[in-house]
Amino acid sequence: MTQQTDAAGDQIREFVVEKLAQSKGITVTSDSDSLTEKGIIDSLGIFRLVAFLEETFHLSIADEDITHENFRSIDAIRDYVVNHSPK
Amino acid sequence: MAYLLTQLLRQSAQRFPERAAAWARKRTLTYAQLEEKSNQLARLLRGQGFGKGDRAGIFFPKAVESIVAMQGVMKAGGIYVPLDPQAPAERISYIIKDCGIRALLTSKAKFADLNATGTGETQFTVEVDSEAEIAGTPRRLPWSAMDSFPKTALNEAVISTDLAYILYTSGSTGRPKGVMLSHLNALTFVEWCARKFQVTWEDRLSNHAPHHFDLSVFDIYNTLEAGATVYMLPDEVSLFPASLAAFIDQNALTIWYSVPSALVFLLLHGNLKPGSLQGLRVLLFAGEVFPMKYLQDLISRMPHTEFYNLYGPTETNVCTYYQVDREKLASMEKLPIGRACENTEVFAVKDDGSIAGIGEEGELLARGTCVTPGYWGDPEKTARGVITNRWQKDFEERAYRTGDLVVLREDGNYDFTGRRDSMIKSRGYRIELGEIEAALLSHPSIREAVALAVPDPEIGSRIRAVVAPQESLGVSSAELQQHCATRIPRYMIPEVIDIRSSLPKTSTGKADRVRLTAELVPAEQSKT
């Protein structure tokens, strides 16, 4: 993994753990944990997450990209961000 | 004509044995399979000593087995209690004990979650993902244990006024309460829907609502009644609006029923194209106010769909309805809750006890076979809500006090104007602020707590709390949120918790909610 990927992963993990999971009393044990199965992502949280990603990584995330494949875990989100970041 | 919910399945299984009854996570069950499996489950339950009037919890994420479970329990003469798979373990354990749940239909993972908080007097479990009996107490059976039983129907010594299911809702005194519903209650609603919406075997119905919410009663039982197919939406689809729109179109759903929040979500973020959602012939919504601008937008995209606003608390299921009139919609400020469903009667009562006339505000009461017998194990709460109908002079009957304030319009429709108490709606969820406060107060560091609803144009209300800790004890809002998560469902957890040294008081010494809400509303609005 490149440094850029690591850094992105760290920032995403921090947001997911501190802003989404913690307030619901859920612990995230690994980057491949299912965020939906554990209830970390809900209909309110998904948009806070999208707003965070857009601001932090200077992206514009299309509605059609807000899917389970891209958001199912911290790993999936990181991959999406790295693949869509402005070069 | 069916007088029990189990007969809806049996009748459709006779007419349409090979048709798909239910779909979930890419698996389907036909009517014949559903009928046979539920007969086997009923026999298994009876074999374990489970019988007439006993309660069984259903505690696993939505699957085709969910319907096998509901039918199997009722066929054994029992009452099913759908338990929220996402609720904290402590809350589920409370319900299991409060309701005296004797059998738990669950999964290994969900059963493991209950380990610390306990399963009370549950005598046995039947687990959907289990391959073999697991040693221990309670007795833990695999789902396949039912396979050795005959597939034929049992004789049901059940009548229409026997209970079919119990739905737990938020309780103002801090713990959830179980609304009892009989076969007759459920069928009153199902039959009304069948006539009104003309559901046929060709329909494909969504099931968006969790099974512990009564919107799912339409999804499941109107499907069974008609010989149609119900599509249970997995979380992966419901949570991602673009996936949700695609799911509706790809599965050619013809009837949709959900809270308005899900539709607003779909509208704003579902990437809807001109052809999207055109297969829906009927779109029903209930549970909260549908913001007018979003309703107008959505309806303009679906010229061939009939839209209905359905209203009613869990205690009556739907008791009034309003069919949206496209022409009138543009000039309406808000949608009425409408008029009583056929075979139900509603009336509004003023503070002085007289019936409200046109233009007058009163509390809405409902009478008819839709009314719940009451709350499980709580005759006091029952007596407060399910009252003798003193406006009925000719014979004794009961009516339900909805607690909703309404005004009767000239056209015979009722408008919802508010509530007397501190029950609020957020994303369609019914929430007693008192239950949130009780959760906060149960934290040892907290001396005072007030939960507040801050109005939100998209979801109804957002929840905030203001607390005052015991002297010299420090606590963070994150800690408090985590504490809440062990007691109340996630959608009730305050998004923001303000910690202060003390709360403002009214002249009677109680926390001044009005002032606290006023302080918070300008702050929220200026953020957007």
Q: What is the pLDDT of residues A10-25, one digit of tens each?
A: 999 999 998 888 777 7
Query: Strand pairing partners for B407?
Result: B361, B415
Residue B528 pLDDT class (50, 70, 90 cuts): very low
Check residue A1 and give its pLDDT.
57
If one counts the domains in chain A, the total is 1
The CATH classification number of B5-182 equals 3.40.50.980
Higher pLDDT, A85 or B300: B300
Name the minimum distance, in Å, from the CA of A86 to any CA of chain B.
23
The CATH number of the domain covering residues in B423-527: 3.30.300.30
Q: Which residue of B has its CA nearest to A35?
A: B236
Q: For residue range B125-137, list pLDDT tens digits in order.
A: 999 999 999 998 8
Residue B472: per-residue pLDDT: 65
pLDDT of residue B523: 53
- Give the residue range(s) of CATH 3.40.50.980 domains in chain B: 5-182
Domain that holds residue A19: 3-84
Pick the CATH number of B233-421 from 3.40.50.12780, 3.40.50.10860, 3.30.70.20, 2.60.40.1260: 3.40.50.12780
Angle between helices B31-47 and B5-15 (to 10 degrees): 140
Rounded Cα distance between B447 and B63, Å, is: 43
Tell if the CB–CB gap between B269 and A71 is shorter than 8 Å: no
- Please classify residue B42 by burial: count the beta carbons closer than 10 Å to its beta carbon, then call 0-12 exposed, 13-18 middle and 19+ buried: buried
Above 50 in pLDDT, residue B524? no
Q: Cα–Cα distance between B28 and B11 in angstroms, integer?
A: 19
Provide the pLDDT confidence category of residue B116 given band limits of 50, 70 and 90.
confident
Token code pair at residue B187: 């069928």
> Which of B79 and B522 is assigned the larger pLDDT?
B79
What is the location of CATH 3.40.50.12780 in chain B?
A: 233-421
C-beta atoms of A23 and B493 within 8 A: yes
Query: B89 in contact with A at a CB cutoff of 8 Å?
Result: no
Residues 327-356 of B with CB under 8 A from A: none
**Arithmetic mean of pLDDT, B464-492:** 89
Q: What is the mean pLDDT of residues B431-454?
A: 94
Report in angstroms the alpha-carbon separations of A7 from A3, A66, B178, B374: 6, 22, 49, 56
Q: Which residue of A44, A49, A77, A80 is the best one to mutate when testing the B interface, meaning the one whose CB has the most B CBs within 10 A?
A: A44
Q: How far apart, in Å, do the first and last CA atoms of chain A sit?
A: 17
**Amino acid in position A32:** S
H or E segment and range at residue B235: helix B235-238
Q: Which residues of A touch B495 (CB under 8 A)?
A: 23, 44
Q: What mean pLDDT do residues A40-55 have? A: 88
Is A64 close to B237, i.e. CB distance below 8 A? no
pLDDT at A69 over 70: yes
Q: Which residues contact B346 (CB under 8 A, 6 or more apart)?
A: B319, B320, B339, B340, B364, B365, B366, B367, B414
CATH of the domain at A18: 1.10.1200.10
Could you report the per-residue pLDDT of B330-376, keeping only the tens digit for each? 999 889 999 999 999 999 999 999 999 999 999 999 999 999 999 99
**The predicted structure's pLDDT at residue B172:** 86
User: B527: which residues sit within 8 A by CB, 6+ positions away?
Assistant: none
B307's tokens: 């839209």
Least confident of B8-22, B288-302, B313-327, B418-432: B418-432
Q: Which of B243, B265, B485 lies at the smallest CB-CB distance from A43?
A: B265
Instruction: Identify the closest residue of chain B to A70 by CA–CA distance.
Output: B240
Q: Within chain B, which residue ranges are assigned CATH 3.30.300.30?
A: 423-527
Is A24 in contact with B236 (Cβ distance < 8 A)?
no
Question: Over the stretch B22-73, which tens digit does the pLDDT of each residue have?
Answer: 999 999 999 999 999 999 999 999 999 999 999 999 999 999 999 999 999 9
Helices and strands (DSSP H and E) totals, chain B? 17, 27
Is the preceding omega at residue B138 within 30 degrees of 0, hence cis? yes
Q: Using pLDDT thresholds of 50, 70 and 90, give the confidence band for residue B527.
A: very low
Which residue of A24, A46, A65 is in closest CB contact with B490? Answer: A24
pLDDT at B173 exceeding the cut of 50:
yes
Residue range B287-303: average pLDDT?
94
pTM: 0.92
